[in-house]
A and B are shown apart, each in its own frame.
Chain A
């Protein structure tokens, strides 16, 4: 079965319920209650967006968001932002370790929070673009967009462990 790759300007979408939308192609073909998801949520944020129906079956894939009309692009990004909303850490306020379990008290763009990292070898991943993804003991995700943009103290607490 071949995948239906389309360009962003082939469709018009209407947002329903934050992460769901109805889609109409300019050919007249209509889909309802579709859920857009990133095929590359870590490495390609604005490419290859798949649209799934309520059964989880893929209907089509948008190659690049950038090709969409600005208004449509904004709607799609809004839905994706809702789905992929993870707190971005802006400061590591407190770091402690007990029994190999790390306790991080952080400031994020969504407020302050404290979480545990149980397996720090597996739970922190730094990318070449200086981004760090973190997974806590409850499988919640956090992101540090650029480790070198954090304050010196936070850097000092985090970097040695990467």
Chain B
């Protein structure tokens, strides 16, 4: 029978269930099932596999009777074959025939892997209970999606960070404005004063035209002129003060934004950087923040001022002549309509423009740091052409946007001017025909107010342009600010004394579901062990280290250090306990001293010197003219590969870590430097659990255990002697390397002779 609470990824259809029910009767019931989303021909449809303790039943229309049942004993191999567009669960029978059990999209790939693994492991004698636990872990991982936004959750029932505090663009921006609210409000008050002052001169004009000049009142003229001077002085003096305060507040906003994006970027998981170019991140920190700042100031300042001005003018105009006022408002609905139309037209253009400028930034961040490579391959011309092509792309997109951005305001201004001309005509007639109802002074003053009234109208008409531009930038900035950071579920949980026991338990991992990188990895490393990790390029060696370093947390299974799941340990503490020496050590644009002391700020100089000494680096540092004060160029320009490597070892020494990791630390140096580095490593690893990835097996002479990785599987694990006796992959690697070393030595000898 089919249990009511069957472990299944999604409910099977009635059709599938009815076939399954016929297959499982009485006590015979499946342990779990997987429903697929494709038929065997790759069309969207459905199929399923039901897995019991000793058989697997595949259901699909491709089988005669719509199902096939295979006992584990009849299966020689079962695996998920990942193809370019989808995957197939394939079984090979003992008789040698191959059967496609189910086809599915990559959404189900992980649980089908677990199903295949279950069949093979149970068939080879492992207990059903232990393997079923691994299957359950895969299902849990599959199911842990946010019900609201669908994003994958780090653990079942975890809170979705993506859905926390979601608001609209305005509320997000408000967060950055808040600290400067005082300054901005003060600026608004100043703006209101200057705007009120700007409304005075047209009114004074009507007085001059209608009474003071015709009445030849010289005394009043002087008073009015002095008053006007005072008004203008106040207007510009207050304007200058406002500009200063506004700039300080605006720069503060942009500085806060930049800092927050940068800080956020530091805690983003490696997966974010795997999928996002550095150029794109740099663009967001530099250009997009500026666009946002300008927009925020427009909204908080100009919009308020223009609104105040618009209503002020309307009230004054109404008090002067309500008929003419209504006439001057005629263009407003047209402006609003055009503005909406324009917004829809220009918004996608800004998005595309953003993409093009990111492409340009990406080329810059790619080629400028790699200028040596460009020059060494004489690829300057090629680089120039490539850059030029992208700039041209941007330019043609910008031209399109510029066309609309230029046409729209011109159309609006023309419409508004037409309105103004109509007022001249109608008002002019009124002054000629009924001067008692409208004087010349009032008309002149009215026309001045009308042209002033169009400024705010124009402003609001163009606001959608800058809003759309800001929206595009907000999206990109929020993409970083709202991105899920690395999950630190064990925050503040620190271990008193890290002994260095490491255990990988049923670990499966893939960077992307179309290719599995680690497959059911299990091993235990005891405290103090020196473990060599060997395998061909791309076998998964570095991925083991990446998972142990918690660069990627979304793997299946568990990684334990001192019997505690590393996900439950404070991340910062955990990483501080690991010394990590990479193949290509990263140096910062700073002094040698600061580069070594990077992990332990405020270190005593003698500790740094001792660390450099242990790392065999003190000798060459002391010979440099500026010794420890030597300023390194970007990425350590000025030092050789071996020298940089020794500095990175010194960094690890200073950290005094419980666990050490060397990722091909000597692969890029000559034999003499290798010996210096190897001596440094030997001094450093004493008493510490050490993992060493190495291509040159000679560098693993201190290893007491070896892990052989092949295509994501641990195929051999044991002491070097055990593996040599096994005569497997490790044995072969040793043989090959010994032969090539002999050949190299022979050649060297011949050359010497």
Q: A: which residues have CB within 8 A of B?
A: 17-19, 41, 56, 82-87, 98-101, 108, 110-113, 116, 118-119, 121-122, 137-141, 159-162
Contacts and interface: CB of A to CB of B under 8 A. Distances in A.
B276 interface: yes
Interface string B256-280: 0000000000000000000110001
A82 B150 CA distance: 30
B251 interface: no
Interface residue tally of chain B, by bracket?
A: 35 or more
Given A138-B105, A139-B512, A141-B85, 11 more contacts: A18-B100, A85-B83, A100-B478, A100-B482, A118-B151, A119-B275, A138-B106, A138-B107, A139-B513, A140-B86, A161-B348
Contacts of B105: 138, 140
Contacts of A108: 44
Nearest to A83: B83
B513 A138 contact: yes
B376 interface: no
A122 B276 contact: yes
Contacts of A141: 84-85
Nearest to A122: B275
Interface in B460-513: 475-476, 478-479, 482, 512-513
Contacts of B106: 138-140
Nearest to A138: B107
Contacts of A119: 275-276
B368 interface: no
B107 A140 contact: yes
Smallest CB-CB A-B distances: 6 pairs: A160-B348, A111-B44, A86-B85, A138-B107, A99-B149, A139-B513
Contact of B280 (A18, A110, A121): A121
Nearest to B38: A110
B84 to A, nearest CB: 4
Given A108-B44, A138-B106, A162-B352, A99 B84 contact: no
Nearest to B100: A18
Main secondary structure of the interface of A (DSSP, over half): loop
Contact of A160 (B352, B476, B512): B352
A101 B149 contact: yes
Contacts of A110: 38, 42-44
B176 to A, nearest CB: 19
B163 interface: yes
Contacts of B84: 41, 83-86, 141
A41 B42 CA distance: 19
20 contacts: A56-B711, A83-B83, A85-B84, A85-B85, A86-B84, A87-B42, A99-B166, A100-B475, A100-B482, A101-B149, A108-B44, A111-B43, A111-B44, A116-B150, A139-B512, A140-B105, A140-B106, A160-B348, A160-B352, A161-B351
Interface string B668-684: 00000000000000000
Interface string B85-123: 110000000000010100001110000000000000000
A70 B478 CA distance: 54
Nearest to B90: A17
A96 B202 CA distance: 52
Contacts of A118: 151
A111 B358 CA distance: 35
Contacts of A101: 149-151
Interface in B28-82: 37-38, 42-45, 81
Contacts of A83: 83-84
B9 interface: no
**Max chain A CB contacts within 10 Å: which of B38, B42, B351?**
B42
Contacts of B38: 110
B737 interface: no
A21 to B, nearest CB: 13
Contacts, number: 85
A17 B98 contact: yes
B85 A84 contact: yes
Nearest to B92: A17
Contacts of A140: 85-86, 105-107
A108 B191 CA distance: 58
Contacts of A99: 148-149, 151, 162-163, 166
**Max chain A CB contacts within 10 Å: which of B84, B163, B476, B514?**
B84
Interface in B403-427: none
B149 A98 contact: yes
B634 to A, nearest CB: 27
B347 interface: yes
Nearest to B107: A138
B696 interface: no
B355 interface: yes
**Max chain A CB contacts within 10 Å: which of B85, B86, B151, B512?**
B85
Contacts of A113: 37, 44
A19 B42 CA distance: 14
A20 to B, nearest CB: 8
A10 B475 CA distance: 55
A19 to B, nearest CB: 7
Contacts of A41: 84
A101 B98 CA distance: 40
A133 to B, nearest CB: 11
B514 A139 contact: yes
Nearest to A124: B355
Nearest to B166: A99
B83 A87 contact: no
A160 B98 CA distance: 46
A141 B151 CA distance: 18
Nearest to B272: A119
A18 B83 CA distance: 12
Contacts of A84: 83-85
B355 A162 contact: yes
A110 to B, nearest CB: 5
Given A100-B479, A139-B513, A160-B352, A112 B44 contact: yes
Contacts of B475: 100
A87 B85 contact: yes
A137 B83 contact: no
Nearest to B475: A100
Interface string B336-357: 0000000000011001100100
Contacts of B100: 18
B113 to A, nearest CB: 14
A137 B100 CA distance: 25
B532 to A, nearest CB: 23
A19 B163 CA distance: 43
B83 A19 contact: yes
Contacts of B151: 99, 101, 118
A101 to B, nearest CB: 6
B411 to A, nearest CB: 22
A87 B86 CA distance: 10
A100 B482 CA distance: 10
Given A118-B151, A161-B351, A85 B42 contact: yes
